[in-house]
Amino acid sequence: MRAVTAAKRLLTIPAPVFALTKQQLRHFALTKQQLRQPVVERLQAAPAGADQAIQHLWTMPETRAAIRHYVSRTFKQSGAG
């Protein structure tokens, strides 16, 4: 019930993006592009096969076991149903 109350309260907060002018939106888009550009360049410069190597690492049984352990330790269920 607290979550519903919090969600209703959040709905009353106006989204600032709707109050932005077209020029402010262009500035925002440019800033977002500038922040993302180094990441895009690194991804484009990655050597061939990098995706497969990374996918292999993330799908290894020991990696998946470590993730499961982290999730079970970090996001313990409260037992309240």
pTM assigned to the model? 0.41
pLDDT over 80 at 21, yes or no: yes
Domain that holds residue 27: 2-74
**Would residue 69 count as lying in a domain?**
yes
**Would residue 79 count as lying in a domain?**
no
Residues 6+ apart with CB under 8 A from 17: 25
- Per-residue confidence (pLDDT) for residue 9, from 0 to 100: 82
**Would residue 60 count as lying in a domain?**
yes
Number of folded domains that form the chain: 1
**Would residue 24 count as lying in a domain?**
yes
**Which phi and psi (to 5°) does residue 20 adopt?**
-80, 145
**Would residue 81 count as lying in a domain?**
no
6 or 33, greater pLDDT: 33
**H or E element: which one contains 66?**
helix 61-74
**Would residue 80 count as lying in a domain?**
no
CB-hemisphere CA count at 13 Å for 60?
Answer: 9
* For range 6-18, the mean pLDDT: 74
**Would residue 70 count as lying in a domain?**
yes
**Would residue 19 count as lying in a domain?**
yes
